[in-house]
């Protein structure tokens, strides 16, 4: 049985949000916090520790908000982020549905901090029937070329979902093989 392993950001979720722009557009509209401010104060300073479990997302965001000088509650920031950044890529969702209907196991292959992963799991699992099991006979899809190369080096079949590219046919071909 094939396993279709899909990255979340840039594959299952549309980073352009259907033409609305990056999720940080919502952050700027809601709180006046710009994408460069978020990138510098949070992602550049804390993200590696957050995503690797060495720091909570709440403490990283709290520090970033302090550095930025924004009078915003951490929970409000996280709510806007998680909700604004959840715009499914309909083509990828359809691929996952077709793969599932054909007997493939569909799983998320993503590097997320635990709160966002839980948010995504609750929303996506009901929609796709996602699960986790032994990963062999994997078709991995990611928008980051380095991750695709690493997957191939590990023996997985992998597809680079380059922004703007039509990668769905290649994934379907590998799943049919």
In a shared domain, residues 111 and 76:
no
pTM of the full predicted structure?
0.72
Alpha-carbon gap, residue 13 to 89, rounded angstroms: 5
In a shared domain, residues 107 and 146:
yes
CATH number, domain at 154? 3.40.50.1000
Q: What is the pLDDT of residue 126?
A: 41
User: What's the order of all strands across the beta sheet hosting 157-160?
Assistant: 105-108, 3-6, 138-142, 157-160
The model's pLDDT over 36-89, given as tens digits with 9 standing for 90+, comes to 999 999 999 999 888 878 899 999 999 999 999 999 999 999 999 988 988 889
In a shared domain, residues 142 and 157:
yes
The answer, yes or no, to whether residue 142 has pLDDT greater than 80, is yes
In a shared domain, residues 113 and 168:
yes
Domain range for 141 is: 3-16+87-176
Residue 173 has which token pair? 């071909």
Alpha-carbon gap, residue 161 to 143, rounded angstroms: 4
Alpha-carbon gap, residue 35 to 138, rounded angstroms: 35
In a shared domain, residues 110 and 168:
yes
Question: For the chain, how many structural domains are there in total?
Answer: 2
In a shared domain, residues 72 and 94:
no
């Amino acid at each position: 049985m094939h396993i279709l392993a899909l990255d979340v950001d840039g594959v299952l979720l549309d980073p352009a949000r259907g033409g609305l722009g990056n999720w940080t557009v919502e952050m700027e509209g809601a709180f006046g916090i710009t994408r460069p401010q978020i990138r510098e104060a949070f992602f550049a300073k804390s993200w590696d520790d957050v995503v690797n479990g060495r720091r909570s997302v709440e403490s990283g965001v709290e520090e970033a908000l302090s550095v930025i000088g924004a009078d915003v509650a951490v929970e409000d920031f996280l709510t806007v982020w998680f909700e604004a950044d959840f715009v499914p890529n309909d083509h990828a969702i359809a691929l996952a549905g077709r793969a599932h209907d054909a007997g493939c196991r569909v799983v998320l292959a993503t590097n997320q901090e635990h709160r966002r992963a839980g948010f995504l799991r609750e929303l996506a699992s009901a929609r796709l029937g996602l699960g986790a099991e032994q990963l062999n006979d994997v078709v991995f899809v990611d928008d980051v070329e380095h991750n695709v190369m690493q997957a191939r080096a590990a023996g997985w079949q992998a597809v680079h979902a380059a922004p703007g590219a039509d990668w769905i046919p290649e994934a379907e071909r590998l799943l049919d093989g």
